[in-house]
A and B are shown apart, each in its own frame.
Chain A
Amino acid sequence: MKSFAVAASAAIALLLPSTGVRAEEPIKIGFAIAESGWLSNYDSAPFKAAVMKIEEINKAGGLLGRQIEYSVMDTKTDQARAATVGAQLVDGGVDMLVVSCDYDFGAPSALAAKQAGKIAFSLCAADPKMGVQGVGSLTFTANSAAQSEGIAIAEYAQKKMNLKSVYVLEDLTIEYNKSACAGFRAAWAAGGGQETILGNDTFKNDDPSIASQITRLKGLAKQPEAVFVCSFTPGGASAVRQLRAAGIDLPILANTAMVDNYWLNAVPGLKDFYLPAFMSLYGDDPRPEMAKFLESHKARYGEPPVSSYAVLGYSLIEQWAYAVEQAKTTESEAVVGVMNSFKDQPFTAGPTSFTDQLHIQVDRPWLIMKVENGSFHAVEVYRNSFKPDMKLLFRVGQ
C-alpha cells in the first residue's frame, strides 16, 4: 500500500503538468508527512486514518461527483525536505496539502502551499501558530491547542476530582509541553487561585534522574493534593516512575502526549493517573461515533489504530470534504470561507469551530482517561469552560 502510494506520488509529481480542472478529473490531496525519522511515529497513525476516510468517500461516490486521489511524499523529519516535498506536491497540482503533526516540521510544507494559494491542513500540530498568525490564512490544524489540554485537566481536577492544590512539573524540552503547562497554570489559577499552585519545577525529557525535583517536592511546607506533569514519552514515563518509586502516591495529572498503553510497562501498578485524550482505543469510549471509527479501522487494516491521534487524521479529511461540499468547489478561498464559519460543527473528533483568527480548537471536549490495572480507561467526556485568550495561546510574556 505504502509503496503504491509512493509510486503514485512519484508518478503524479513527474507526469502531470497542471492542466485545467474538468469535472471528471479526480480531486487531489497531497500528504507531505514524515514516513521515516522520529516524527513518523506521530504522522503514521493519523495518515492511515485519513486514507481510510478518503476511501470511504470514494466508495460513497466521491466528492462533488469526483473521486479523490492522494499522493504521499516523505519529509524524513527534515525541515528542508519538508519544504521541498511540499513544493513538489503543490507543483503536482494538489487541491489540498496535508502536512506533518508538528509546527516546526509541518510549517515549511505549509508555506509552500500558502505560496501556491492552497490550503494546508496539519494532521495534529497542537501549536496555534499552525494557523493564521504563524503561517497564513489558508493553514489549519486538526488538533486542539496544547493549552487546552492543560486547561481541561486543571478544570476537571478542581471541579470533578475536588483537588485543592497542585504542584507543576514542567518538561522544557519542546514547546508543546511549555504550552500545556501554561494552559494548566492559567486555568488552575483562574479556578482556585494562584496560591494553590504550591510549586513549579522543571526538567528535561532526557534527564536520567529527577531526584532533586522530587526532593524539593517532598520538602514543601505543605504537600500538594496532586502533581501535574507536562511531558511526553519516554522522559515523562520515567518521571512518573520516579515519582511513584519515591513514594509519592498523589494523583498525577498529565497531558495528552502521555496517552495510550504502550509505555505503561515502565510503571508497573500505576494508578491514579489522569489525562485528557482524544478517544479511547480500548473499546470503552462513551461516544458511539468513536466505536464506529474503531470498527472501521479494524475492518480496513485488521487492527485498531496504534495511537489515538489517528482520529484527528480521519476527521481532518471529514472536515475538509464537508467544507468542499458546502462550497461546491475545491477553490481555496471559498473552502476556507466555509471552514471559518464552523461553529461547533459535529465531526467524528468532536465539535469543531474555526474563525478567521483561530484555526485550532480551544474547547473541543476531551475524554478524561485514567490508568488502572495496566490500562487506560475512559472516565467521562469533559469540556473546558475556561477559554484561552490570544495572549495565552501565543504565550506572550511567559
Chain B
Amino acid sequence: MKSNAMPSLASIGRFWLPVLALVVPLVLIVVVTGQFGGLSLQRTVVEMLISIVIVVGLYVFVGNSGIISFGHATFMAIAAYGSAWQTCCEMLKPITMSGLPHFLRDQSIPLLPSAIVSVLLAGAAAFLTGLVIMRLTGLAASIATLAVLFILNVVYSNWDSVTMGSASIVGLPTYVTAWLALGCAVLAIVVAYLYQISAFGLAIRATREDEVAAAASGISLYWSRLIAFTLSGFLVGLGGVLQAHYLGTVSINNFFLGFTFLALAMLIVGGMGSLAGAVVGVVVITAMVDIFRRLEGGISIGGQQWSLPAGTQELIIAAFMLLILVFRKDGIMAGREIALPQQPQREKGLING
C-alpha cells in the first residue's frame, strides 16, 4: 500500500515541480516582504505579481507559438475599462461617461462579478481578433497584433462619452492586496503550465519548432494558435483588472507602446521559451528597476549621502537588456523549465529543437 503511494507522490511532485519551483519563492517573497519590508517594497512586490500575471499571459501565446505579439495590451485595456465601467465612481459616471448604457451608468456592479465579466470580455475580444489574425503567419501576425493595438488606442482615446477619451478614469475601488495578487499569479502560472503540457500545448509548441512538419502531422496551425491566443487574452485581461484595481485609475495611455515593450522585454530577458523564463524575467527586471530607483533616490553609506543621477535606472536597464540579448539570446532561462535533472533532457528535443 505504502510502496504504491510513494512513487505516485513522487511523480505528482515531479509533475508539479516546475510550478512549485516558481510559486514557492513567490510565496516566500510575499511573506518576507509582508513581515519585514517597508510599504514601498510591499507595493513593488504587488506590482511584480501583477506583471507576472500579464507576462505569463503573454507567454501563453508568444512563448508557445513563437509569434511575437505587440497587441496584448489591447486585451488588458478592454478588461480594465470593462471593470472601470462596472465599478468606478458612481457620482462621476453619469456626468463623464454619459454614453454608457443605463445599467452601467446609473449603478455599480459588485466587484467579483464585474471582475469575472471583464476577464471574459478580454478573452472574447482575443477570440474575435484571433479569428482573423491567426490566419496569418510569422511576422504578418505580429504586425497585425500591432495594428489591433493602434485601433483600440485610437478608438478608446476618442470615444469620449464612454471612455473619457485620453483622460484618466479615477476612483476604482482598490482592493488588490499582495495575497490577492499572489493568488492570481499562481493561478496564471498553473493555467499556463497545464496548458503547455496538454495536447493543445504540445501541438502549438510543435508548430513553433517547425510549421511544415507540424502541419504534416495533422496539427492545425490556425486552431492551435487561436486557442493559445484566446487563453492568453483571458490571462492578460486578468492582469488588466488587477492593475486597474491596484492603481485605482485607468488611462488608455498606459496600455500603449511603452507598456507593450516593457512586458515584452521582461519576457525576452527571462527567456520566452519557457514559463520559468517569463516569471524570472519579471522578477529580475522588477528587482533591477527597484534597486536603481532607490539608488537614484539616494542612500546613505557610512553617514555619506550618495545618489545616482536621475535617469540612470533607465540606462542601466537598457544596457542590461542589450547584454542579455548579445550574450544569452534565449534569455536567462534559455527555454528551460526548472526541473529535476533527467526531465530537461527528456523534453529537450522538443523544446529546444
The listed residue (A10, A111, A394) touching B248 by CB distance below 8 A is A111
CA distance A108 to B43 in the complex (A): 14
B170, A111: Cβ atoms under 8 Å?
yes
The answer to whether the Cβ of A220 comes within 8 Å of any Cβ in the partner chain is no
Is A47 interfacial (CB-CB < 8 Å)? no
The reply on A6 being an interface residue by CB < 8 A is yes
Please determine whether A129 and B96 come into contact, CB atoms closer than 8 angstroms. Answer: yes
In the complex formed, the residue of B with least CB distance to A175 is: B167
Chain A residues, CB < 8 A from B300: 7
State whether the Cβ of A189 lies closer than 8 Å to any Cβ in chain B. Answer: no
Residue of B43, B98, B249 contacting most chain A CB atoms (<10 Å): B249
B170/A107 in contact, CB under 8 A: yes
The digit string for A100-123, where 1 denotes a CB below 8 A from any CB of B, is 000110011001000100000000
How big is chain A's contact interface, by range? 35 or more
B248–A133 contact, CB under 8 A?
A: no
Alpha-carbon distance A166/B167, docked complex (angstroms): 28
Q: Which of A74, A108, A394, A397 contacts B249 (CB 8 A)?
A: A108
Stretch of B16-24, B304-312, B336-344 on the interface side: B304-312
Structural contact, B39 and A111, CB atoms closer than 8 A: no
B307-A394 in contact (CB<8A): no
Interface status of B66 (Cβ within 8 A of chain A)? no
The answer to whether B92 has its CB under 8 Å from any CB of chain A is yes
Bound CA–CA A3/B166 (angstroms): 34
Among B236-279, those with CB < 8 Å from A are 246-249, 251, 253-254
Contact A6 B307 (CB under 8 A): yes
> Which A residues lie within 8 Å of B165 (CB)?
175, 178
Asked if B345 lies at the interface with its beta carbon under 8 angstroms from chain A, I say no
Please tell me which stretch of A77-85, A241-249, A313-321 contacts chain B, meaning at least 4 of its Cβ atoms lie within 8 angstroms of it.
Answer: A77-85
> How many interface contacts (CB-CB < 8 Å) are there between A and B?
95
Nearest chain B CB to A110 CB, angstrom units: 8
| Chain B window 160-172, contacts with chain A (Cβ cutoff 8 Å), 1 for yes, 0 for no | 0100011110110
Are B170 and A135 closer than 8 Å at their CB atoms?
yes
Query: Which A residues are in CB contact (< 8 Å) with B253?
Result: 104
Contact A74 B297 (CB under 8 A): yes
A107 touches B40 (CB 8 A): no
A23 within 8 A of B: no
Interchain CA distance A276-B34 in the complex, whole Å: 51
Q: Once bound together, how far apart are the Cα atoms of A17 and B56, in whole Å?
A: 37
B110 located at the interface, meaning its Cβ lies under 8 Å from any Cβ of chain A in the complex: no
A36 at the interface (CB under 8 A from B): yes
**Does A394 lie within 8 Å of B305, measured CB to CB?**
no
Given contacts A3-B298, A10-B298, A83-B247, contact A107 B168 (CB under 8 A): yes
Q: Quick check: is B91 within 8 A (CB to CB) of the other chain?
A: yes
Any chain A CB within 8 A of the CB of B12?
A: no
Question: CB-CB < 8 A to B96: which residues of A?
Answer: 129, 394, 396
Identify which of residues 37-86 in chain A touch chain B, using a CB-to-CB cut-off of 8 Å. Answer: 73-74, 76, 79-80, 83-84
Contacting residue for B311 out of A36, A115, A178, CB 8 A: A36
Minimum CB–CB distance from A227 to chain B (whole Å) comes to 24
Residues of A contacting B39 in the complex (Cβ-Cβ under 8 angstroms): 13, 87-88, 91
Q: Residue B38 at the A interface, CB < 8 A?
A: yes
**Contact assessment for B171 and A134 in the assembled complex, using a CB-CB cutoff below 8 Å:** yes
Give the interface of A toward B (CB within 8 A): 3, 6-7, 10, 13-14, 35-36, 73-74, 76, 79-80, 83-84, 87-88, 91, 103-104, 107-108, 111, 115, 127, 129, 133-136, 173-175, 178, 390, 394, 396-397
